[in-house]
Copies of this chain bind each other. A is one copy, B any other.
Amino acid sequence: MTVKATEAVSDSCEIEFIDAEKVKSVRKAMKSANAVSLLADTFRLLGDPTRVRIAFALAKEELCVCDIANLLGVSQSAVSHSLRTLRQMKLVRFRREGKIAYYTLDDEHIARLLDEGFRHVEELV
């Protein structure tokens, strides 16, 4: 079902499209570059064992920086840097109580991402 292309990329393949119909429908459903970029940023932040553990811990309990560091066996500085990037992408939020900063997940989507993700990897055995 090879069909002529309307806008093929020169470097990709010689023939234009194998199935132009499917490509067209997917192109129509495709998310905006901005949404894709934000989502990739979100996943990239979670693409690190330390931050996965931080996020998982914060899904269970509100915790301060010090307790997170001790829980994970990671330096305070490393945790603080990680929390900053997580904060910038709105994955976590925090409140200050005197000297202590308490962090939690920012919304339920993140907790569900973790759940769904763990369900996936548990199938990998």
Known: A23-B63, A44-B44. A13 touches B70 (CB 8 A): yes
Residues from 29 to 53 in A contacting B, C-beta threshold 8 Å? 29-31, 33, 35-49, 51-53
Nearest CB on B from A60, distance (A)? 5
Partner of A9, one of B30, B35, B74, B119: B74
Please state if B35 and A40 are interface contacts (CB–CB under 8 Å): no
Give chain A's interface residues, CB within 8 Å of chain B.
Answer: 5, 8-9, 11-13, 15-19, 22-23, 25-27, 29-31, 33, 35-49, 51-53, 56-57, 60-67, 69-71, 73-76, 79, 90, 100, 107, 109-110, 112-114, 116-124
Is there an interface contact between B47 and A46, defined as CB atoms closer than 8 Å?
A: yes
In the complex formed, the residue of B with least CB distance to A24 is B71
> Do A26 and B117 touch (CB < 8 A)?
no
Assess whether A70 is in contact with B9, with CB atoms less than 8 Å apart. yes
Partner of A66, one of B15, B29, B53: B15
**Hey, which chain B residues are within 8 Å of A66, CB to CB?**
12-13, 15, 17-18
